[in-house]
Each structure stands twice: as C-alpha cells, then as structure tokens.
C-alpha cells in the first residue's frame, strides 16, 4: 500500500523546508519501509540547502535517524516489521571491493559523491503534488516514512531509546570513529579537535575513551567550550584570541605539535591548519568535515614529506551494518554518553527552526 504522510520537502536551494503531504511507495525487492521516530539535523543536510553539497531538487533530506520497520519487500531477510532500526547513509552491501576489504568501509552502493538521489533501480519512492521527489544518501529521514535498501538498515536493540541513538546514525559514530577507528588514538597521546559541533564533541568523546592525555578543543565560538570540557577536553582555545596562526599556537602549546588532529568543520583553511599543527614526523591529521564543493587546497608538500599522515574518514571508518548495533549496545552499557550532544528537541513541523539553531551555532 502507498502511505500518505508528512515530509519536509526542499523544493530548491536557499529556501526553507516545506512541510508537505507526500506519497511513499511500498518497498520493492530487497527494500524496507521504515517509520521514522527521531531524526537529527546535521550540517551535511544544510550543505545541500546552500549548494555546498550538490544534489538534485526537489529532495527529502535527512540521514541521521532511528525508526521502526513498517513493511519489507520481497527477499528481505535481515529485518522484519516491528524491528527497531537505524538507517545507514553508508550502506554495507558485503560484496563490493570496500566491503570485502578489512580496511574499507565506504560501500560503493552509497549515494555519497554520486548525487544520484534515486534508489538502486533508478526510480524514487516519493511523490508530492504529482512530482517525483529525490532521495538523499539513500536514507531521506525528514519524513514520517521512508524507503531504504536492506543494505542500508541496521537492526538494533529493541530497548534502545530511539530519540537518543538516532545520533549513532551519523554525528556520534562519525566523530567517535574518526578518533578510535581512523586515527587509532593511543593512550597518553595529544589531540587537537577543530570544530565543536556534535561531531567534534564526539571526536573528543572518542579521544577520551582511547586514553588521550591532552585534548585541545579549537573553535571560534567560545560558548562551546563548557560542553567540550564536560566531555573531556583538557584545553579550549579560540583562534580569535591570538594574533598568530592557530597551528603555531598549537605547536608551541604542545612542544612540537599534536599526535593527532581532527578537522570537523569542512573548511579548506582549517584542514591545512590541522595538518600543520600535528607533529612534523609522525603526526596524523584526519579530515572529518565534508569538504565544500568546487574548492581546492593549496599547501606546502614539505608538510607531508617529513612524515605526517593526512587521512579522510567517512562515517568514522566503521563498517556500518556490523558496527551500528554494537555502538547501540555500548551506549546501553553506558560506555559513552549521548545526552550532552542533544541541545534541543523540537516537533517535526518546526524543522526550519531547528536549522536556524544549527546555523547560529546553538
């Protein structure tokens, strides 16, 4: 059966979301229809509204969520109606080169970087006012019901609070994994984290769990420092307080640079600063923030020649389907907290107010 429900449709760039009645088609073979219970707002969604991340319009955004399976298509074995699930914007098909390699996690079935906005068969499951609406990253969670490929859903503990663990669908896992899985931060090491949004704070949680002795939080908004300290930052610095480049400040503070640095903003100037602030011979710098479209980085290759490593990390380097249920289990065992990452809880119809809060750093 087709389901009629509410969704936040983005008809064009630089316009507010429009709450519309949409029609959600039933799941086809190997697809799952999910009732979304809670969804987070992520800067990557906002990048589409500004055009920094290029996607086709009209589109239903959203990729950080949790919900309950409503129905399944033919051939689906992993989940059944009533199961609690987290949608995966990085799926895990288990068959492509990246899924088969122990080092890889960026499944080739992801829509990231292709901007197709359609399901695997080249069609969409959403219709509004007679128009086809595009999917986003194979998830589209800004709607009461969505359709996902079965490789893009992870079944989780039925006791998990969906309004908290939805963060494991993107922000938390991305930051936490950047520290633990991509950088592999060791006990006693020093770390610098550029950007203290939800993902940056999750990097701090990961560094702390890994046993880092010093975690330096960097942001131009000092209002974010209290929460960073609550979650494990040992120092907080605002680049606006110094009249020299921030990488020089960090190098001096640490007597030669940090062991690990993380750029969690998505700006090219902070990416090069994060690279420059890590130790010149064995420092590792990880790009976690989504880079803006059509921008290039220029840097002195000597920064890398001396031995530094520069890495990227998508979804924290985790193999999504394998790890998301484990992260939910770890949350249930209180291995980490999620509550401090939730600043506001709004009804779905106030989604534009939510984005205003994001854009003003709140």
- pLDDT the model gives residue 74: 96
Set out the domains of the chain in order of their start, with CATH numbers: 3-171+317-360 (3.90.180.10), 183-312 (3.40.50.720)
Instruction: List the helix and strand counts (H, then E) for the chain.
Output: 11, 15
93 is catalytic: no
Cβ atoms within 10 A of the Cβ of 3, count? 18
135 is catalytic: no
- pLDDT the model gives residue 295: 81
What stretches of 40-72 adopt beta strand conformation (E)?
65-72
Walk along the chain (362 residues) in steps of 10 and give the mean pLDDT of each run.
Answer: 97 96 97 98 92 91 98 96 97 95 93 78 94 96 97 97 97 97 98 96 98 98 96 98 97 98 94 97 95 84 96 96 98 96 95 95 86
- pLDDT the model gives residue 113: 66
Residue with the two structure tokens 């088969």: 100
Contact 281, 303 (CB under 8 A): no
R_g of the chain computed on alpha carbons: 20
42 is catalytic: yes
Of 54, 59, 46, which is closest to residue 134 (Cα–Cα)? Answer: 59
Work out the angle between the directed axes of helices 268-277 and 246-253 (0-180°, nearest 10).
Answer: 20
Contact 194, 200 (CB under 8 A): yes
Residue 210 has, within 13 A of its CA and on its CB side, a CA count of: 27
Catalytic one of 93, 107, 170, 277: 170
**Burial call 186-225: b when 16+ CB within 10 Å, e when fewer:** eeebbbbbbbbbbbbbbbbbbbbbbebebbbbbbbeeebb
> How far is it, in rounded angstroms, from Cα 45 to Cα 242?
32
170 is catalytic: yes
Catalytic one of 42, 99, 166, 277: 42
- pLDDT the model gives residue 289: 86
Task: Output the pTM of the full model.
Answer: 0.94
What's the distance, CA 121 to chain centroid? Answer: 25
Q: What is the DSSP string of 86-142?
A: EE-SS---SSSHHHHSTT----TT--TTT---S-TTS--SEEETTEEEB-STTT--S
- pLDDT the model gives residue 256: 97
What stretches of the chain adopt beta strand conformation (E)?
3-9, 18-24, 31-39, 65-72, 84-87, 126-128, 131-133, 145-149, 153-155, 190-194, 214-218, 235-237, 260-263, 284-287, 309-312
Catalytic one of 5, 18, 30, 63: 63
């Amino acid at each position: 059966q087709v389901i009629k429900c509410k969704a936040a449709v983005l008809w064009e760039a630089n316009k507010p979301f429009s709450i519309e009645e949409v029609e959600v088609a039933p799941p086809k073979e190997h697809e799952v229809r999910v009732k979304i219970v809670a969804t987070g707002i992520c800067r990557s969604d906002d990048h589409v509204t500004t055009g920094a991340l290029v996607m086709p319009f009209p589109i239903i955004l959203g990729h950080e969520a949790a919900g309950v399976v409503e129905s399944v298509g033919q051939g689906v074995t992993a989940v059944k109606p009533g199961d609690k699930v987290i949608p995966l914007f990085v799926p895990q098909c288990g068959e492509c080169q990246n899924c088969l390699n122990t080092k890889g996690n960026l499944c080739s079935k992801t829509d990231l970087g292709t901007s197709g906005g359609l399901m695997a068969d080249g069609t969409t499951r959403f219709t509004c006012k007679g128009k086809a609406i595009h999917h986003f990253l194979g998830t589209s969670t800004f709607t009461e019901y969505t359709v996902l490929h079965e490789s893009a859903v992870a079944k989780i503990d039925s006791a998990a609070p969906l309004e908290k663990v939805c963060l494991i669908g993107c922000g938390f896992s991305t930051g936490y994994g950047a520290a633990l899985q991509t950088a592999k931060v060791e006990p006693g090491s020093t770390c610098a984290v550029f950007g203290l949004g939800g993902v940056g704070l999750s990097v701090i949680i990961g560094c702390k769990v890994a046993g880092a002795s010093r975690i330096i939080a960097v942001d131009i908004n000092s209002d974010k420092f209290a929460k960073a300290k609550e979650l494990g930052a040992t120092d907080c610095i605002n680049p606006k307080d110094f009249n020299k480049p921030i990488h020089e400040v960090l190098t001096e503070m640490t007597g030669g640079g940090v062991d690990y640095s993380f750029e969690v903003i998505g700006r090219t100037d902070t990416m090069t600063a994060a690279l420059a602030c890590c130790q010149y011979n064995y420092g590792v710098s990880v790009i976690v923030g989504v880079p803006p479209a059509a921008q290039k980085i220029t840097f002195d290759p000597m920064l890398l020649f001396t031995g530094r490593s520069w890495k990227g990390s998508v979804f924290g380097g985790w193999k999504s389907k394998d790890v998301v249920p484990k992260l939910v289990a770890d949350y249930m065992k209180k291995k980490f907290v999620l509550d401090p990452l939730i600043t506001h809880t709004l009804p779905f119809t106030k989604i534009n107010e939510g984005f205003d809060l994001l854009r003003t750093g709140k």
